[in-house]
Amino acid sequence: MKIIKRNGAEAVFDVIKIEKAISKANDAAAGESELTDRQIKEIAAKIERYCNNIGRTLTVEEIQELVETYIMQHSAYETAKRYIRYRFTRNLIRTANTTDNQILSLIECNNEEVKQENSNKNPAVNSVQRDYMAGEVSKDIAKRLLLPPDIIEAHENGIIHFHDMDYFAQHMHNCDLVNLADMLNNGTVISGTMIERPHSFSTACNIATQIIAQVASSQYGGQSISLAHLAPFVQISRQKIRRKVMESIKMVGGNISEEAASPIVEKRLREEIRKGVQTLQYQVITLMTTNGQAPFITIFMYLGETKNEQEKKDLAIIIEETLLQRYEGVKNEMGVYITPAFPKLIYVLEEQNIAAESPYWYLTELAAKCTAKRLVPDYISEKKMKELKEGNCFPVMGCRSALSPWKDEDGNYKFYGRFNQGVVTLNLVDIALSSGKDMDKFWKIFDERLDLCYRALMCRHNRLKGTLSDAAPILWQNGAIARLNKGEKIDKLLYNGYSTISLGYAGLYECIKYMTGKSHTDPIATPFALEIMKYMNKACNTWKEKTTIGFGIYGTPLESTTYKFAKCLQKRFGIIEGVTDKPYITNSYHVHVTEKINAFDKLKFESQFQALSTGGAISYVEVPNMQSNIEAVLQLIRFIYDNIMYAELNTKSDYCHVCGFDGEIRIVSDEDGKLVWECPKCGNRDQSRMNVARRTCGYIGSQFWNQGRTQEIKERVLHL
């Protein structure tokens, strides 16, 4: 059994240390000691049993609080006071160098919490460590100087989560919808170098990868681009290739019509498209930005964005090639094709590709095969999105953050070149537990917590307010978001709904379970769950009217925070069956991972909550290996088109370097009770010698997860 020390490193649980600590406090009495040696051993044994039964690794602080509790249960109040005073004194000494210890532990790669904070960052790499070091300093500055004490306290206690505090000291924002069309057509500047309009598709792809890298280094969230913005350059390449072909034929004395030369032209064009897409995908996979990870990039594939039929046909070729290359995968260090984490792909389902008789049905069939093998693409229903977004269909920013419809001064909708200011997530489970099932108290606490979130979000907003465009030229001056002048403030982009700011929420299932005794899928409990969603929407609308800032409700993709919230709830309220008895809480509105429900019912049920998550959300279904049952995948895809705006299928795609096993690597418990990954064929448990891909928060993760998230993955039931 392990414990987590104050600096985040793991250590073996030692019951003798607990006995010694209690004995010191007990023996320090001026008179007769309050506890016998037998009682001290009993207390230590109780704590050991508690730690064994709780199902997760406890922190030193949690164990010390257990010591205090059990000492007082034995009526040894003076001993408890002495123990508490000792803890307080030690904490004062430690306060001065907490940040130093955190930094040193992550440099030595023994900070377990930081190591598994982000499943797409390798903590052993220098660039990642450098980013984490800067993050620790930034968090320290934010906590001591920049954020109000009550917001810090609420964050530390898991009442809210102030996302990306490690980037708060800088004037940085969350997600972007990159205006790639503007940057390619009108030129841009990268690292002080003028980049003019490209004269071929392959050059456009190369420039796009440079833009992606620059944008990723200027913000901390996800970004999205559309393949439709690359499609016009196919025709430019076609004309260029045609001229060269005709010139070559004339040089050897040939004389054929342009029509007769078309097969040669199209073959060469296809090869250029293949190389261009390969550049885009491989560059994204191999790029490492300043924060030590590949860009969190999403690629949008939507035929409806094209301006004419020729452009649509060209876009279809790009989409086909993108899907073919992703289906193949990328080679790992052993030369075996595996599933890459990025770029994330989103395929839009529309009338032109949703039925067998549709002209682009072949693309949907290819998408289904790719999903079954490589977990992507995910799917947006044009029909459902248009119902919810004023007749528009557009990409999410990154994995799920969604813009609100916005019109420019000419009354035209605009989506590209917009962004998200940041996120603060509300722990709904804590509200429920704090109310003690008293409904009046529940809504009162809810109001207090919403006010806390509003003030935290305004801290995010005010941190960006006054930022000069010089802080990130690629974003604010050179077209990714805007074309502001040097020295100009970005303030006008923060108001009137141009950008969004997100109220996240977590644990709707557990909240409803505690208040009603039922899952939110139960028809008796569902109305209350929907009422909570509407209540948060009402709050966001009130804040928007008050400030003109684009507040929206966001179905938070908890990664490490799902574990943090669970630990905080157990610490504050103990173990409550069905509510706090797991080392994780449920993401946003999702059906609990252990609840048995079929894929179609799950998607239909969650669609009503997704519609109320105006700032973004995504639903998923857990499926087995579907590569031999593509028709079932297509059936699910058709269902998504008719019933839910945004959904994905989670399958498994792993590889063991030791024995070559290609399938699902399983999760087991080691001798200390810790969850570890194990190859079912050879028993390999060395994470550095396996590739595992799982979707945990919208993106595919490939660098493993903390214990809470790992147990959540282990307990997922299949929906098909």
Q: pLDDT tens digits, residue range 318-367?
A: 999 999 999 999 888 888 888 888 899 999 999 999 999 999 999 999 99
Q: What is the value of pTM for the model shown? A: 0.86
Give Cα separations from 160 to 73, 556, 633 (angstroms). Answer: 31, 12, 38
State mean pLDDT over 489-509. Answer: 97
Known active-site residue 7:
no
| Residue of 175, 183, 370, 626 marked active site | 175
Distance, in Å, from the CA atom of 287 to the CA atom of 294, rounded to the nearest integer, reads: 5
pLDDT tens-digit map of 451-497: 999 999 999 999 999 999 999 999 999 999 999 999 999 999 999 99
Give Cα separations from 552 to 21, 510, 629 (angstroms). Answer: 49, 22, 38
Distance, in Å, from the CA atom of 639 to the CA atom of 634, rounded to the nearest integer, reads: 9
pLDDT tens-digit map of 220-258: 989 999 999 999 999 999 999 999 999 999 898 888 888
pLDDT at 51: 83
Task: State the amino acid at position 277 in one-letter form.
Answer: V
Please tell me what DSSP assigns to residue 57.
P
Contact between 101 and 7 under an 8 Å Cβ cutoff? The reply is yes
| Residue of 397, 515, 540, 645 marked active site | 397
Token pair in block for residue 490: 């970005």
pLDDT tens-digit map of 204-216: 999 999 999 999 9
Beta strands in 164-264 (DSSP E): 176-177, 188-190, 193-195, 223-226
pLDDT greater at residue 481 or residue 655: 481
Distance, in Å, from the CA atom of 643 to the CA atom of 661, rounded to the nearest integer, reads: 37
Distance, in Å, from the CA atom of 648 to the CA atom of 627, rounded to the nearest integer, reads: 16
Token pair in block for residue 659: 């024995």
| Residue of 420, 537, 613, 653 marked active site | 420
Known active-site residue 645:
no
Question: Measured between alpha carbons, how far apart are the two ends of the chain, in Å?
Answer: 36
> % helix / strand / coil in the chain, to the nearest 5?
50, 15, 35
pLDDT at 96: 47
Question: Beta-carbon neighbour count of residue 681 at 10 Å?
Answer: 14
Q: For residue 300, what are the β-bridge partners?
A: 226, 346
pLDDT at 144: 85
pLDDT tens-digit map of 151-191: 999 999 999 999 999 889 889 999 999 999 999 999 999 98
| Residue of 554, 563, 620, 641 marked active site | 554
Burial of 108 (0-12, 13-18, 19+ CB in 10 A): exposed
Task: State the amino acid at position 668 in one-letter form.
Answer: V
Contacts of 135 (CB under 8 A, 6+ apart): 166, 167
pLDDT at 488: 98
- For residue 377, whether the previous peptide bond is cis, meaning omega lies within 30 degrees of 0, is yes
Known active-site residue 697:
no
Write down the mean pLDDT value for the chain: 90
pLDDT at 128: 65
pLDDT at 117: 52
Is the confidence at residue 119, as pLDDT, over 50?
no
Is the confidence at residue 522, as pLDDT, over 80?
yes
Known active-site residue 19:
no
Distance, in Å, from the CA atom of 541 to the CA atom of 538, rounded to the nearest integer, reads: 5
| Residue of 34, 559, 622, 678 marked active site | 559
Contacts 24+ apart (CB under 8 A), 268-273: 268/241, 269/234, 269/237, 269/238, 269/241, 270/317, 270/321, 272/200, 272/201, 272/202, 272/237, 272/241, 273/201, 273/234, 273/237, 273/317, 273/318, 273/321
Q: What is the dihedral of CA 566, 569, 575, 579, to 10 degrees?
A: -70
Known active-site residue 554:
yes
Burial of 611 (0-12, 13-18, 19+ CB in 10 A): middle
Distance, in Å, from the CA atom of 224 to the CA atom of 174, rounded to the nearest integer, reads: 12
Known active-site residue 174:
yes
Known active-site residue 598:
no
pLDDT greater at residue 672 or residue 538: 538
| Residue of 202, 224, 401, 684 marked active site | 401
The alpha-carbon radius of gyration of the chain (Å, integer) is 27
Known active-site residue 370:
no
Distance, in Å, from the CA atom of 198 to the CA atom of 213, rounded to the nearest integer, reads: 18
pLDDT tens-digit map of 376-408: 999 999 999 999 999 999 999 988 999 999 999
Q: Which residues of 255-287 are buried (b: 16+ CB within 10 A; e: fewer)?
A: eeeeeebeebbeebbeebbeebbebbbebbeeb
> Which of 704, 612, 564 has its CA nearest to residue 163?
564
What share of the chain in percent tops pLDDT 70? 91
Known active-site residue 619:
no
Contact between 25 and 89 under an 8 Å Cβ cutoff? The reply is no
pLDDT tens-digit map of 89-110: 666 555 545 555 665 555 555 5
| Residue of 221, 615, 698, 701 marked active site | 698
Contact between 675 and 667 under an 8 Å Cβ cutoff? The reply is yes
| Residue of 118, 119, 174, 650 marked active site | 174
> Which of 700, 617, 685 has its CA nearest to residue 651?
700
| Residue of 399, 459, 568, 690 marked active site | 399
Q: Of 27-36, 262-271, 666-675, which range is least confident? A: 27-36
Q: Of 172-186, 513-527, 574-588, 694-708, which range is least confident? A: 694-708
What share of the chain in percent tops pLDDT 90? 67
What are the structural domains of the chain? 1-96 (no CATH), 176-388 (3.20.70.20)
